[in-house]
Amino acid sequence: MPMALGGWWRLWIAFTGIYGVIVVFVVVFETWPTVARTYHHPAYIYQMSPQAQSALIRNATMQDLEQMLVAADRAGNVPQAKEIAAKILERRAEKIVWDPLEMEMANGYTMTVSSDISHTDKDLLAKEYARVLNAQLPEARLSAIGKALMFWFIPCIVIAAFGLLCRWVYHGFRKPPAAT
């Protein structure tokens, strides 16, 4: 004999199905991990190839040199201050721009590199960082699926438990059948 479902159970099944579709749409369209939604972590730099890491080493900027000059002068280290002052004068005579260059990565993170970096190194840096971000995606997506299942499962069970509790209370107030 097949089991007949009451109207409330059918309503609960319809609710769980509709709610499941809503959760899937929210996860896929709003929170699904992509490269653009992956936040930067300092450890990502160390996961890049040594060539890409070496592209991140930049020369001291004029501002850095001036701060080092002031610090050496205040410390009374005259030989170091003279050496730094000579570097500053050399830089001012050069036509190369030594100010740092900011590169925006695939996830919106801005990396500061030396302005004399080659286009090949820029491309390598961007590709390596994108590779590291892509390596983070499987774990993040598995976590998103787990969270989505919990956001779907827990409310459905709570509503079913609440319905069963209401039925139990309702049956408790009914008059018992007359004894014959």
List the chain residues with pLDDT less than 70: 1, 58-60, 95-99, 179-180
Instruction: Give the pLDDT confidence of 3-23 residue by residue, as tens digits.
Output: 777 888 899 999 999 999 999
The residue assigned the tokens 């499962």 is 153
Domains of the chain: which residue ranges?
1-32, 42-58+98-136, 60-97
Tell me how far apart the alpha carbons of residues 152 and 157 are, in angstroms, rounded to a whole number. Answer: 9
Single pTM value for the model:
0.66
In angstroms, the CA 144 to CA 150 distance is 10
